[in-house]
Amino acid sequence: MAELLLAAVAVGRPVRGEFTYLVPEQLAGRLLPGQRIRVPFGRGSALGFYLGPAKETSAEAMRLKPIERELEREPSLPPDLVSLLRFAAGHYRYPLGEAIRTALPPGLSGKDAHEEVQPEIEVVAHALPGADPATLSNAPAQSAALSYLLAVGGSAALTEVVHAIPGARESLKRLEKRRLVRLERREVQLPTSADWDQGRPGRLTDEQQAAVAAITSAIDSATFSAFLLHGVTGSGKTEVYLRAVEHALATDRGGLILVPEIALTPQLVGRFRSRFGAQVAVLEHDPSFKQEEKLRYHARDLAVTRAQQLGVTVVLGSATPSLETLENAQRGRYRKLELHSRVDDRPLPQVSLIDLRLERPKDPARLTEPPLLSPPLFVAIEEVLGRGQQAILFLNRRGHSPFLICEVCGTSLRCASCDVCLTHHLSPGRVICHYCGFATSVPSRCAECRGPLLRLGVGTERVEAEVAERFRTARVARLDRDSASSAQKLTSILTAFARREIDILLGTQMIAKGHDFPGVTLVCVLMADSSLAFPDFRAAERTFQLLTQVGGRAGRGADAGRVMVQTYNPDAEPLQRMLVHDFDGFARAELKWRKAMAYPPFTRLVALRIEGLDPEETKSRATELAKRLARKLPPPSWGVRLLGPAPAPIRKLKGKTRWQMLLKGPSHASLAGPLSVVEAFLDELPASVKVAIDVDPAAML
Ligand code: ADP
Ligand code: ZN
């Protein structure tokens, strides 16, 4: 019998593992990793992805079925991405075929699709001289499209603008008619070095110079190298990324930049665009890089793996690296590059803490309300406005008031499907669940006892109203998920602030990261306590990071900056450390605590979340899984531990009861055995209960 050709295949169905098929004669020798194929599966057929040759004993091969046909001649995914996905599916315990499907360009993940034709002609939109979005107040869509163009440096491909602002195609045509924009059809062109000099500082600081030299020589070595670029806010890290990309392009390589916050994209695109057409893996650590559904990957960790597989350079840049990354640097896995001072020796902002316990309102009727703007804060804002500078007010809570509580019986207004309070929003005048989106009209009385409802707590809408009231001549804008519900609105608010058409920008974490607004000299954190009180072992780290990041927006231009933090816990470690810009001291203390508590980076965690509609069934399945795991845990000397099961911090979400368990072990390998127990359990589970496996969880809710 002639030797049979066997193929390893990922099937595009929610099934674990790889499958083996026969390669029919007509496909012999022409299949490439990642290529889409159709294979018989169960009683029908399924989309599959060829992974590579497989080995099998001939006895098994007799029962194998052949691949039906190929769906494309060239794989839609590059082979290196396929090997990255194979790693990720294994590490994060996710079905490989599903992982590949989600990575495919849209349109290719379902039925057979025709090959996409690569467009070689593109339409580029150029803003014409004098075009000003402010003159388009009666045409907000056009104003937003124009704002985007100006924010990214005046020109952009039509497809890019449409991607950022859906519907921009029509707006750009109208802008062309108004002679504010010129649309040009041209061949897709790669940027030339002549375009590279705009806004490029003539001299790098010595520290920037040293960092760039280390990164570029690593790029030239064409081997895997990982760097941690740890630089204080405003130290010119972005400039280091730009130079690294410049070097990669000049030596015929490319680069990949990962951006941590969607709100930052237009500005960063602008900085890269003004230098070149954009193409080195630059990353920032960030919780938003952790995917919270499906394939729960961490983009930072996958980027490092990808760089390793490709043998290229990866740079992780941050003012507040995660403790995991810091520990990797200390163990020598990443090379640390440090930028200790700001560009032009500008001072770091001066930080002060305002003890809210001492600022409580004297009026007994207002005692339930935290002071939104304490007297010291009020004075500081007035000074900044008087000097014609800008202020950022940060509060990580949107809406007007987060709690409605009955004054008589104390019952709070909660979401029927989620174990959380409903937030009152002035616009559109409803109470809304921030977890499931449920919205209803604002009740005037308590459903239990008809008592009057008190609105407690503070959200951005409430602060906005107070700021507008107390600084009547100031131009105030709010940036949160409600006010920036579309890319359009986001871009126009940020552009207006950059153009200094707004004096006070109030917002949630969307304004915390990366932005470079040289006019901002005051950053106020209205309430540091909500982040400190988070039920998560990373609460202190997150607080330190968030406050350092948002504070870092102050004093980036010619004028020195100040940061004022209102809090009921001025003695908390992260606040005391951020007061003196002591990242190293914070990290030392926190690492010591993590070690004592056996938390990452000293252990590996896997969170298991059990969810189901029936509270009793969910609980009993959770208990059953825990028992089964407990019986199969390795001997205690391995250091693997199971915590829980316990109700999740948010006990109910979208109508489903939630339980959770944590597996802790010294390495991922030590958890492999217990995880296969979980997977076997999953295969037996009825559809009414779901278990999600979250490897290296970022959030513990
Ligand atoms: P970071 O990313 O570290 O927060 P940025 O790269 O945004 O800092 O730099 C802060 C500001 O300093 C930016 O406005 C940037 O254009 C400017 N800048 C960066 N490097 C230099 C340099 N070598 N000379 C002059 N200005 C610089
Ligand atoms: Zn809800």
pLDDT tens by residue, 441-476: 999 899 999 999 998 889 999 999 999 999 999 999
For a pocket test of ligand 1, which of 268, 271, 516, 550 has the largest count of ligand atoms closer than 8 A to its C-beta? 516
Q: List beta partners, residue 281.
A: 256, 314
Of the pLDDT bands very low, low, confident and very high (cuts 50, 70, 90), residue 196 is very low
Does the beta carbon of 236 lie inside 6 Å of ligand 1?
A: yes
3-state SS assignment for residue 286: coil
Backbone angles phi, psi at 439, to 5 degrees: -135, 140
Which residue has the CA at smallest separation from atom 5 of ligand 1? 236
Q: Is the pLDDT of residue 221 over 90?
A: yes
Residue for token digits 């930052």? 264
CA of 416 to the centre of ligand 2 (A): 7
Of the pLDDT bands very low, low, confident and very high (cuts 50, 70, 90), residue 104 is confident
Does the beta carbon of 516 lie inside 6 Å of ligand 1?
A: yes
Residue for token digits 């540091």? 528
Cα 44 to Cα 8, 25, 68, 70, 220: the distances in Å are: 19, 22, 11, 16, 51
For a pocket test of ligand 1, which of 282, 343, 517 has the largest count of ligand atoms closer than 8 A to its C-beta? 343
Q: List beta partners, residue 456.
A: 403
Task: For CA atoms 562, 566, 571, 573, give the dihedral sign.
Answer: negative
The pLDDT of residue 285 is 53
Does the beta carbon of 343 lie inside 6 Å of ligand 1?
A: yes
The pLDDT of residue 77 is 84
Contact by Cβ (8 Å): 701, 649: yes
* DSSP letters spanning 473-505: TS-EEEESTTTT-SHHHHHHHHHHHHTT--SEE
Does the beta carbon of 157 lie inside 6 Å of ligand 1?
A: no
CA of 532 to the centre of ligand 2 (A): 24
- Rounded-to-integer distance, Cα 652 and Cα 642, Å: 22
Does the beta carbon of 107 lie inside 6 Å of ligand 1?
A: no
Residue for token digits 């669940």? 433
Does the beta carbon of 237 lie inside 6 Å of ligand 1?
A: yes
Residue for token digits 């070690």? 595
Among 259-268, 341-350, 354-363, 683-692, the range scoring the smallest mean pLDDT is 259-268
The pLDDT of residue 270 is 73
CA 415 to chain centre: 26
The pLDDT of residue 107 is 62
Considering the entire predicted model, what is its pTM? Answer: 0.84
Mean pLDDT of 206-210: 97
Of the pLDDT bands very low, low, confident and very high (cuts 50, 70, 90), residue 370 is low
| 263/198: higher pLDDT | 263
Q: List beta partners, residue 406.
A: 453
Task: For CA atoms 563, 565, 571, 572, give the dihedral sign.
Answer: negative
Half-sphere exposure for 212 (CA within 13 Å, toward CB): 20
Q: Could you tell me what percent of the chain has a pLDDT over 90?
A: 62
Does the beta carbon of 556 lie inside 6 Å of ligand 1?
A: yes
Of the pLDDT bands very low, low, confident and very high (cuts 50, 70, 90), residue 369 is low
Contact by Cβ (8 Å): 264, 498: no
Q: Is the pLDDT of residue 333 over 60?
A: yes
The pLDDT of residue 293 is 80
Give tens-digit pLDDT for 501-536: 999 999 998 888 888 899 999 999 999 998 888 888
Q: Is the pLDDT of residue 367 over 60?
A: no
Mean pLDDT score of the chain: 88
* DSSP letters spanning 260-276: S-GGGHHHHHHHHHHHS
Task: For CA atoms 453, 701, 228, 329, give the dihedral sign.
Answer: positive
The pLDDT of residue 191 is 41
Does the beta carbon of 235 lie inside 6 Å of ligand 1?
A: yes
Which element (helix H / strand E) includes 44? strand 44-53
- Rounded-to-integer distance, Cα 246 and Cα 255, Å: 9
The pLDDT of residue 117 is 37
Give tens-digit pLDDT for 642-657: 999 999 989 999 999 9
- Rounded-to-integer distance, Cα 444 and Cα 440, Å: 12
Q: Are strands 504-507 and 476-479 parallel, antiparallel or unpaired?
A: parallel
The pLDDT of residue 359 is 82
- Rounded-to-integer distance, Cα 433 and Cα 617, Å: 26
Half-sphere exposure for 452 (CA within 13 Å, toward CB): 3
Q: Could you tell me what percent of the chain has a pLDDT over 70?
A: 91
Contact by Cβ (8 Å): 370, 526: no
CA of 393 to the centre of ligand 1 (A): 23
Give tens-digit pLDDT for 23-59: 999 999 889 999 999 999 988 999 999 999 987 766 6
Q: Which atom of ligand 1 is nearest to the CA of 271?
A: 16
Mean pLDDT of 376-403: 95
CA of 438 to the centre of ligand 2 (A): 6
* DSSP letters spanning 329-351: HHTTSSEEEEE-S-GGGPPPPEE
Contact by Cβ (8 Å): 209, 227: no
Give me the amino acid identity at 50. Y
- Rounded-to-integer distance, Cα 14 and Cα 101, Å: 11
The pLDDT of residue 240 is 96
Backbone angles phi, psi at 552, to 5 degrees: -65, -10
- Rounded-to-integer distance, Cα 663 and Cα 538, Å: 17
Give me the amino acid identity at 627. K
Q: Which atom of ligand 1 is nearest to the CA of 516?
A: 7
Buried b (16+ CB within 10 A) or exposed e, 231-249: bbbbbbbbbbbbbbbbbbb
CA of 690 to the centre of ligand 2 (A): 19
**Which own/partner pairs from 471-474 qualify as long-range (CB within 8 Å, at least 24 positions apart)?**
471/381, 471/382, 471/385, 471/503, 471/504, 473/385, 474/385, 474/503, 474/504
* DSSP letters spanning 50-95: EEEE----HHHHTTPPBP-EES-SS-SS-HHHHHHHHHHHHHTT--
